[in-house]
């Protein structure tokens, strides 16, 4: 009964770890959940208030399919002010989270058999979304800094290559591409006329004076080849509100709008009011959260056992480590069973000797985590 397309989709190794973690928790075991992919902070009060007001005002009907003019204008102003990118509101499409935006984009651009280059380690959903849209994911190796190996990238490009995904700051590694690296990638894409799907959802969660650079700001030519994807989800601790967006050339934005109009009608009206208030509120709404993430990251980097090897995260809220080249599924199972730590195997991210932990959890939990990891590494020398 089930289509081949859906049968092809890989079940996630993360789900099995989560299932076991829940089972242990229900049995009263003190499991520390390090698998979380969302800020552990609450949505800021002014944002909540705008949503309550929207409900009271009866702003509860379908909106324009691509998002309200008010929100699209706020996004276009944000892109100009914060990213130096000029997009008119008609080049913006608001969707139900960045994940939805990304899927709309893949549906809008992929012909059957088109190849999409995905640099590993990658966020789990990219390959599956590309496959669902009829495309073929092609994986680019990482270099010693966990950025894409540009030599490998060049060798992967062929007539079928349609697009490449860029995710900086990255989930799962936390690495951030600087201007020079963005420039090197842009030059390869420009030379070969390849679209860049630039997933910038972690742009504000960034440390030590690193600056987020959107590849669209490289040059007017590169801007034409880029689809900027962003969301209020991570920046404003609004994962449950489901608002993401794209900005792109008019032709692409119109195609994405067409997909959305026929499949979803519009993003949630109330959440759009909340997202408007978040984007207008800006930095003061999230700076405290970023400061807290920075403290936690510093604590981990200063205290994790030396046997764990990882790129020091410069953004997002994940740390991606290798421990004695152990297979990550086996390692995560042992961490859960022996130390009650729930982490995510890197196998899901295209790096099976690595494990992802999220520091979107309290400092107290991180202290216990460090303690238990120290015990584990000293018992397994
Ligand atoms: C790299 C990346 N892109 C996109 C998303 C999806 O964001 P949203 O919750 O807005 O759909 C996530 C969520 O984990 C992510 O890590």
The whole-number pLDDT of residue 18 equals 78
Is 233's C-beta closer than 6 angstroms to any atom of ligand 1?
Answer: yes
Is 169's C-beta closer than 6 angstroms to any atom of ligand 1?
Answer: no
The whole-number pLDDT of residue 149 equals 98
d(CA 167, CA 199): 5
Edge-to-edge strand order for the sheet containing 226-231? 92-95, 244-247, 226-231, 195-199, 161-167, 115-119, 136-140
Task: Let me know: does 13 contact 329? Beta carbons within 8 Å.
Answer: yes
Q: Which residues of 133-149 are buried (b: 16+ CB within 10 A; e: fewer)?
A: bebbbbbbebeeebbbb
Is 97's C-beta closer than 6 angstroms to any atom of ligand 1?
Answer: yes
If you measure from the C-alpha of residue 146 to the centroid of ligand 1, how many angstroms do you get, rounded to a whole number?
20
Pseudo-torsion of CA 336, 337, 338, 342, nearest 10°? 10
d(CA 194, CA 137): 14
Least Cα distance to 139 among 112, 154, 121 occurs for 121
Which of 14, 39, 75, 98 has the most ligand 1 atoms within 8 A of CB, as the residue to mutate? Answer: 98
Closest atom of ligand 1 relative to the 233 alpha carbon: 10
Task: Let me know: does 195 contact 105? Beta carbons within 8 Å.
Answer: no
Is 296's C-beta closer than 6 angstroms to any atom of ligand 1?
Answer: no
DSSP-derived pairing of the beta strands 136-140 and 195-199? unpaired
Is 99's C-beta closer than 6 angstroms to any atom of ligand 1?
Answer: yes
If you measure from the C-alpha of residue 321 to the centroid of ligand 1, how many angstroms do you get, rounded to a whole number?
21
Name the token pair of 359. 């520091």
Closest atom of ligand 1 relative to the 38 alpha carbon: 14
Which of 99, 118, 240 has the most ligand 1 atoms within 8 A of CB, as the residue to mutate? Answer: 99
If you measure from the C-alpha of residue 125 to the centroid of ligand 1, how many angstroms do you get, rounded to a whole number?
9
Nearest protein CA to atom 14 of ligand 1, as residue: 37
Please state, rounded to an integer, the average pLDDT across all residues of the chain: 96
Main-chain dihedrals φ then ψ at residue 54, nearest 5 degrees: -60, -40
Is 83's C-beta closer than 6 angstroms to any atom of ligand 1?
Answer: no
Nearest protein CA to atom 7 of ligand 1, as residue: 98
* pLDDT tens per residue across span 102-137: 999 999 999 999 999 999 999 999 999 999 999 999
The whole-number pLDDT of residue 10 equals 78
What residues of the chain score a pLDDT lower than 70?
13
Is 171's C-beta closer than 6 angstroms to any atom of ligand 1?
Answer: yes
Cα angle 47-48-49, degrees, rounded to a multiple of 5: 90
Q: Which residues of 73-104 are buried (b: 16+ CB within 10 A; e: fewer)?
A: ebbbebbeeebebebebebbbbbbbbbbbbbb
Which of 105, 123, 170 has the most ligand 1 atoms within 8 A of CB, as the residue to mutate? Answer: 123
The whole-number pLDDT of residue 38 equals 92
Least Cα distance to 300 among 235, 236, 361, 344 occurs for 361
Which of 169, 171, 245 has the most ligand 1 atoms within 8 A of CB, as the residue to mutate? Answer: 171
Task: Let me know: does 269 contact 61? Beta carbons within 8 Å.
Answer: yes
Ramachandran region, residue 345 (left: φ > 0; alpha: ψ -120 to 50; beta: rest)? beta
Which of 234, 240, 244, 358 has the most ligand 1 atoms within 8 A of CB, as the residue to mutate? Answer: 234
Class of CATH domain 4-42+286-376: alpha beta
Query: Does 2.60.40.10 match the CATH number of domain 62-281?
Result: no
Per DSSP, helices labelled H in the chain are: 4-7, 13-26, 45-56, 69-83, 98-109, 125-132, 150-156, 179-192, 220-224, 250-263, 269-281, 287-303, 328-339, 363-379
Global confidence as pTM:
0.97
- How does DSSP classify residue 270? H
If you measure from the C-alpha of residue 344 to the centroid of ligand 1, how many angstroms do you get, rounded to a whole number?
16
* pLDDT tens per residue across span 366-381: 999 999 999 999 999 7
The whole-number pLDDT of residue 14 equals 72
Cα angle 222-165-81, degrees, rounded to a multiple of 5: 50
| Domain ranges (residues) in the chain | 4-42+286-376, 62-281
Is 103's C-beta closer than 6 angstroms to any atom of ligand 1?
Answer: no
């Amino acid at each position: 009964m089930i289509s081949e397309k859906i049968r092809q989709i890989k079940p996630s190794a993360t789900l099995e770890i989560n299932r076991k973690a829940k089972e242990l928790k229900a049995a009263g075991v003190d499991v520390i959940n390090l698998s979380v992919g969302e800020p552990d902070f609450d949505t800021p009060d002014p944002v909540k208030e705008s949503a309550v007001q929207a409900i009271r005002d009866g702003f509860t009907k379908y909106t324009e399919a691509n998002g309200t003019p008010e929100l699209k204008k706020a996004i276009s102003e944000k892109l100009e002010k914060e990213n130096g990118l000029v997009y008119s509101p008609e080049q913006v499409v608001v969707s139900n989270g960045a994940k939805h935006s990304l899927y709309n984009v893949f549906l809008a651009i992929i012909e059957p058999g088109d190849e999409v280059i995905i640099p590993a380690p990658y966020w789990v959903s990219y390959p599956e979304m590309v496959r669902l849209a009829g495309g073929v994911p092609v994986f680019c190796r990482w270099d010693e800094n966990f950025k894409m190996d540009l030599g490998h990238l060049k060798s992967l490009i062929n007539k079928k290559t349609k697009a490449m995904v860029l995710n900086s700051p990255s989930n799962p590694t936390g690495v951030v591409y600087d201007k020079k690296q963005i420039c090197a990638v842009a030059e390869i894409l420009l030379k070969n006329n390849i679209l860049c799907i630039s997933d910038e959802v972690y742009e504000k969660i960034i440390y030590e004076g690193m600056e987020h650079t959107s590849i669209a700001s490289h040059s007017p030519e590169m801007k034409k080849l880029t689809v900027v994807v962003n969301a209020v989800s991570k920046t404003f601790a609004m994962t449950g509100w489901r608002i993401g967006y794209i900005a792109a050339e008019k032709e692409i934005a119109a195609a994405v709008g067409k997909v959305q109009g026929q499949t979803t009608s519009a993003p949630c009206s109330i959440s759009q009011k909340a997202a408007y208030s978040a984007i207008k509120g800006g930095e003061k709404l999230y700076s405290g959260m970023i400061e807290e993430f920075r403290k936690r990251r510093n604590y981990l980097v200063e205290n994790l056992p030396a046997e764990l090897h990882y790129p020091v995260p410069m953004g997002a809220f994940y740390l991606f480590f290798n421990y004695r080249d152990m297979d990550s599924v086996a390692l995560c199972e042992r961490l859960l069973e022996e130390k009650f730590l729930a982490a995510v195997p890197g196998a899901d991210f295209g790096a099976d000797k690595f494990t992802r932990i999220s520091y979107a959890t309290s400092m107290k939990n991180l202290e216990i985590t460090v303690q238990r990891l120290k015990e584990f590494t000293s018992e397994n020398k």
